[in-house]
Amino acid sequence: MKNVSVTFCVLVFTAVGIGCDAYHNANAKRLIEPASIPGKAMLAFVGTGEQLVKQGRISLHRRLKGMDGCEIDVWVINSRLVDSAEPERKITRGTVVLLHPLVTSKLWFLSLGENLARYGWDVVLPDLRAHGRSGGKYITWGAKEKHDLNRVVDQLVRGKIVSDHIYILGSSMGGAVAIQYAAIEPRCKGVMAIAPPASFRKIARRILLMESPANVEEALVRAGQLGGFDPDEASAVAAAGKLSCPLVIVHGALDCVVPFQHSKEIFNAAPEPKRFIRLPIDGHASEIAREQWIIKQIDSLAGMADPVSGRLDKAIGLSAGYLVRACGKDGKFVYRISTNPKITPKPAYNVLRHAGAIYALAMYEQRRPDKKTRDAIARAVGFLKKETIAPMPKNKDLLGVWSRSRISGKPMLMQVKLGGVGLGLVALLSAEKAGATTTPIDDLRKMGRCILFMQKEDGSFYSKYIPARGGLVGEWVSLYYPGEAALGLLMLYEKDPSPAQAGLRQKWLDGAARAITYLARTQADKTAVEADQWTLLAMAKLLPIYDRCKQSVHRELLLRHARRICNSILAEKTQCRTDAPEFGSFGSDARTCPVATRAEGLLAALTFLPAEDKALRKRIADAASAGISFLLRNQIRTGKYAGGIPRAMRPLPKGHPKFSKSFNRRSAEVRIDYVQHAMCAMMQFEQLRQKPENERKGNH
């Protein structure tokens, strides 16, 4: 009887032990074995990676090895932002890795990824292990996932598939993984986490809410054994303390899944720079409804990592917004305003600056497409065509851009200015490249013929055509008109496709080359020349194709002229401390437009000056960077004139050599060309910074 009792007790205790073991294993699996059906169902609905590539939604699909051989299924979307200067080249601002929440898949962030690509980002969308189409049975809350990502991103970067400037965003569990990855990846420039759990231990207590502390602890131990990881290693709080990049944390105050305090604990552990965003009426994983807002936060994160770049992006957008608002329903811009309410600017209008504003908006539209921008461009082009573009007298095969008293607002003889035709061509061709309007190629050719009609045999130009004075007028010579005309011809050469018109197309190129060669030849003996940014902009287009010119064009002659222009500009730099308000300006009066135009020219020169001009290139880069910083400091950032660029940094004191009442009255004036030139310089600066180092050397 005694033996029977002992046997019975052993069986009971064994059964209880087995039952407890199964119970603890079940709890452990609740922590690390996610439901796979939701994520797989999402992916089945959208189709395979290969199908998405064919549809153009993603750039490529890969299965890459993560930690311990686990296969990670990855989609990549490469940047879709086009370089306005080189439409065949895509601008890449960096790479954003998007990590989905628990029990979902990479499809969760596909739409956001597509939008980020339109704004110039390469995007990596992985299925985390044990999710979607990736391998693995168990999740580890970051312990292994951070190493999966490290391997996956490294393979993509080494394969030159994505940029090595890495930013990472994750939601919920993906947010915790993102922070842990950023802590071990030196290439990571910034991390954004939405409602991240503080650690595996803390979220385990939340998941096993009804269990005793002892049962939770046992489940953690067994989860670590099943998944092959240390539960204490899966901690976003611990990782946050090791970050060397900026951190942004977003958390909804009404989150019932991951308590708000989790994010606060992570945030408090992280070093600066960091930012906490509390969403007062949001719950958990609400980011799907906030795509545009999230894109802005990623831009802001990039700004925390690189303050100049971050400020630059916002400043360009503000100036574009100013020009869009300034474009009236009839397509005419509000030409100038004064931020001083006591001053009313004199009425005036300049068609050349109208065309320049179109050029700037078209550059912006190619950078960041937007319907409001396209509509403004279309209105402005409509005004240009209706009010200014008309045939030349007695020659219907020539189209001029006419300046008239009723448009300019001041008495003047009706006339065609060479610069007006050049910039008119630039404006129309830029608007067409941006997809805002179209112009018949025959009309564009007629404008090209008009420029050639005004060109002399030696390559120089008549600056004006005034019917009341007999036609071509040459006694007044403009510094900038030849460069503007050459740029227009070169853009027409790029556009004009017709093999039947090959001879005519060649004339556009040769006319531009003769114009620039004339300037270089006639100023060859001068040690200092004028700061002609339009010629430098035209050279940036001409030099890569100079060998296609039929007449003799000496590349070294053009480069010597470019160097002289650059050196003349650099000699004008204001000499002052780097912390002085006028640092970056050109001239003691600290006007903004000379800074912007000189920066445009210098930045254009950096695209073609050869690598052996190392010292000059360094001086140019430093001056351009300082000039851009000056413009950023002086841009109006808030209010109804946000994005405007005032004429000068400040009024001048009476003892200043350039003091005048007129200067001070106009110092608060904002004119469309001040905004246009500053905006173009900023976009050039942005494009140059985003090119790989080997593309900045100017080895044409």
Instruction: Give the model confidence (pLDDT) of 69-116 as tens digits.
Output: 999 999 999 998 876 556 666 778 899 999 999 989 999 999 999 999
Domain membership flag for residue 232:
yes
Count structural domains, the chain. 2
Domain termination site, one of 305, 339, 362: 305
Q: What is the mean pLDDT of residues 536-542?
A: 96
> Do 253 and 327 belong together in one domain?
no
Q: What is the mean pLDDT of residues 240-264?
A: 91
Q: Above 50 in pLDDT, residue 18?
A: no
pLDDT of residue 578: 77
Contact 465, 400 (CB under 8 A): yes
Q: Above 60 in pLDDT, residue 121?
A: yes
Contact 192, 168 (CB under 8 A): yes
Pairwise pLDDT comparison (472 vs 283), residue with the higher score: 472
pLDDT of residue 84: 57
Give the separation between CA 49 and CA 55, rounded to whole angstroms: 10
Domain termination site, one of 251, 281, 305: 305
Distances (CA, A) of 384 to 93, 345, 348, 678: 34, 23, 16, 22
pLDDT of residue 7: 47
Domain membership flag for residue 1:
no
Contact 593, 681 (CB under 8 A): no
What the block records as the tokens of 136 is 């693995």
Q: How far is CA 31 from the centre of its chain?
A: 41
* Mean residue pLDDT across the chain: 89
**The domain spanning residue 501 has which CATH number?**
1.50.10.20
Domain membership flag for residue 107:
yes
Give the separation between CA 663 and CA 651, rounded to whole angstroms: 7
Phi, psi dihedral angles at 276 (to 5 degrees): -115, 125
CA dihedral 207, 208, 214, 217 (to 10 degrees): -30
Give the separation between CA 530 and CA 516, rounded to whole angstroms: 14
What is the chain's Cα-based Rg?
Answer: 31
> Do 605 and 527 belong together in one domain?
yes
Give the separation between CA 328 and CA 383, rounded to whole angstroms: 10
Give the separation between CA 696 and CA 681, rounded to whole angstroms: 16
Give the separation between CA 620 and CA 603, rounded to whole angstroms: 8
Domain membership flag for residue 4:
no
CA dihedral 412, 415, 418, 424 (to 10 degrees): 100
Q: Above 60 in pLDDT, residue 692?
A: no
Contact 682, 600 (CB under 8 A): no
> Do 314 and 215 belong together in one domain?
no
pLDDT tier at 39 (50, 70, 90 boundaries)?
Answer: confident
> Do 282 and 326 belong together in one domain?
no
Domain membership flag for residue 17:
no
> Which of the 8 DSSP states describes residue 604?
H
Half-sphere exposure of 396 (CA within 13 A, CB side): 0
For residue 52, give its domain range: 23-305
Q: Above 80 in pLDDT, residue 20?
A: no
pLDDT of residue 16: 40
CA dihedral 691, 695, 697, 698 (to 10 degrees): -110
pLDDT tier at 693 (50, 70, 90 boundaries)?
Answer: very low
- Indicate the pTM of the whole model: 0.64
What the block records as the tokens of 343 is 């001053």
Domain membership flag for residue 672:
yes
> Do 397 and 542 belong together in one domain?
yes
Q: Above 90 in pLDDT, residue 10?
A: no
What the block records as the tokens of 302 is 């990039």
> Do 286 and 333 belong together in one domain?
no
Domain membership flag for residue 635:
yes
pLDDT tier at 346 (50, 70, 90 boundaries)?
Answer: confident
DSSP string, 48-116: -HHHHHHHTS-SEEEEEE-GGG-EEEEEEE---EEPSSSTTSEE--EEEEEE--TT--GGGGHHHHHHH
Q: Above 70 in pLDDT, residue 2?
A: no
**The domain spanning residue 188 has which CATH number?**
3.40.50.1820
**The amino acid at 102:** L
Residue 169 host element (H or E)? strand 166-171
Phi, psi dihedral angles at 486 (to 5 degrees): -60, -40
Within 8 A by CB and 6+ apart from 326, the residues are 333, 334, 357, 672
> Do 137 and 255 belong together in one domain?
yes
pLDDT tier at 501 (50, 70, 90 boundaries)?
Answer: low
> Among 58-62, 195-199, 283-287, 638-642, which is the least confidently predicted range?
283-287
Give the separation between CA 285 and CA 261, rounded to whole angstroms: 16
> Do 282 and 337 belong together in one domain?
no
> Do 502 and 592 belong together in one domain?
yes
Q: Above 80 in pLDDT, residue 467?
A: yes
Angle in degrees, 0-180, between the axes of helices 481-495 and 533-542, rounded to the nearest 10 = 30
CA dihedral 610, 612, 615, 621 (to 10 degrees): 30
Give the separation between CA 600 and CA 212, rounded to whole angstroms: 68
Give the separation between CA 599 and CA 542, rounded to whole angstroms: 19
Contact 176, 196 (CB under 8 A): yes
Domain termination site, one of 280, 305, 330: 305
Contact 148, 72 (CB under 8 A): yes
Domain membership flag for residue 619:
yes
> Residues 418, 419, 424, CA angle at the centre, nearest 5°?
105
Q: How far is CA 291 from the centre of its chain?
A: 17
Give the separation between CA 114 and CA 469, rounded to whole angstroms: 58
Task: Report long-range pairs for 370-378 (Cβ below 8 Å, ≥24 apart).
Answer: 372/324, 373/320, 373/324, 373/436, 374/434, 374/435, 374/436, 375/436, 376/323, 376/324, 376/327, 377/431, 377/434, 377/436, 377/437, 378/331, 378/431, 378/436, 378/437
Give the separation between CA 169 and CA 149, rounded to whole angstroms: 12
Residue 536 host element (H or E)? helix 533-542
DSSP string, 202-234: HHHHHHTTTS-HHHHHHHHHHHHHHHTS-GGG-
pLDDT of residue 699: 44
> Among 303-307, 623-627, 632-636, which is the least confidently predicted range?
303-307
Give the separation between CA 491 and CA 433, rounded to whole angstroms: 10
Within 8 A by CB and 6+ apart from 479, the residues are 530, 532
DSSP string, 320-377: HHHHHHHB-TTS-B--EEESSTT--PPP---HHHHHHHHHHHHHHHHHS--HHHHHHH
pLDDT of residue 311: 80
pLDDT of residue 700: 40
Give the separation between CA 504 and CA 442, rounded to whole angstroms: 12
> Do 376 and 291 belong together in one domain?
no
Q: What is the mean pLDDT of residues 5-23?
A: 48
> Do 289 and 363 belong together in one domain?
no
> Do 378 and 280 belong together in one domain?
no
Within 8 A by CB and 6+ apart from 14, the residues are none
pLDDT of residue 15: 39
pLDDT tier at 691 (50, 70, 90 boundaries)?
Answer: low
Q: How far is CA 90 from the centre of its chain?
A: 11
Phi, psi dihedral angles at 140 (to 5 degrees): -130, 15
pLDDT tier at 631 (50, 70, 90 boundaries)?
Answer: very high
Contact 450, 416 (CB under 8 A): yes
Q: How far is CA 538 from the centre of its chain?
A: 23
Instruction: Give the model confidence (pLDDT) of 128-148 as tens digits.
Output: 999 999 999 999 999 999 999
Contact 168, 96 (CB under 8 A): yes
Q: What is the mean pLDDT of residues 467-480?
A: 89
Give the separation between CA 584 and CA 580, rounded to whole angstroms: 9
pLDDT of residue 221: 93
Q: What is the mean pLDDT of residues 184-189?
A: 92
